[in-house]
Amino acid sequence: MKITWLGESGFILDDGKTSVLLDPYWSDALGERRADRHRLLPVKQEWLERNYDLVLFTHAHIDHTDPQTVQMLLGRQPRLMFAGPPSSHAVLKDCPCFFELYEGAKVTLGAFAIRALPAIHSDRYALGYEIVHEGKTLYFSGDTALLCDLAARVPHQPDAAFLCFNAGVGKNMNAQDAAVLAERIDARLVIPFHYGILPGGVTPEELEALLMKQQRPCFTPAYGETFEV
């Protein structure tokens, strides 16, 4: 399986037969609302020209569930499947094929086994995801704080933990929280995200240093980089 980081919280997971898109933000919707929130990097045309089998959302905030991006996708694939929490569905109420997910819900698509997990965020319906593919377990935290015994409710020893972090505002983990979660779940590899294409965000150096003290592998992809775990 190949994974491409789209900046912020967006990822493509593709095994050559099935392609899953997670939290794409391809518009400049935030910049249209606030002059200090214009995206810093352009969307790669190749992302817009490929086909997807499923689009997953973690929560309803516009940099995760973006109606403009959804319209781009539907313009190419009118019957594309979308899935996510009811808060995302409420934003995309006219979306023709949307499946609401709650904690514990499971979706199987090709070789991908997806399970909805808890996330503790300002959107009370926010989710993370466990994605198992050919024996490898990936944990995507979604936007979440390190509260409510989160570490006990998500996969332990995942092959890769994709951990969202910022400065710790808006019910999100900061670098210290993300490092603590990585240690508690004994992640074999940490891939930090939620930065890169919007102004004023964090950079991964602090989290990388904390993980180095744990002797825990960390990989920080470049914008648009495709990799395997």
What's the pLDDT score for residue 185? 98
Kindly report the three-state secondary structure assignment for every residue of 107-132: EEECCEEEEEEECCCCCCCCEEEEEE
pLDDT of residue 84: 98
Mean of the per-residue pLDDT values for the chain? 96
Angle between helices 175-185 and 205-213 (to 10 degrees): 40
At 57 the pLDDT is: 98
Q: What's the pLDDT at 215?
A: 98
Contact 210, 183 (CB under 8 A): no
Backbone angles phi, psi at 65, to 5 degrees: -120, 95
Q: Which residue, chain included where needed, has tokens 């180095």?
A: 212
Residue with tokens 């940490």: 190
Q: What is the pLDDT of residues 90-145, one digit of tens each?
A: 999 999 999 999 999 999 999 999 999 999 999 999 999 999 999 999 999 999 99
Span 43-52, mean pLDDT?
Answer: 97
- Rounded to two decimals, what is the model's pTM? 0.97
Q: Which of 123, 142, 124, 158 is nearest to 10 (CA)?
A: 142
Structural domains of the chain, ranges and CATH numbers in brackets: 2-227 (3.60.15.10)
Confidence check: pLDDT of 70 > 90? yes
Average pLDDT over residues 32-40: 94
What pLDDT, on a 0 to 100 scale, did the predictor assign at position 168?
75
**167-179 tens-digit pLDDT:** 877 899 999 999 9
Statement: residue 201 has pLDDT above 90: no
Nearest to 165 by CA among 213, 220, 125, 84: 220
Please tell me the predicted confidence (pLDDT) of residue 169.
78
The pLDDT of residue 100 is 98
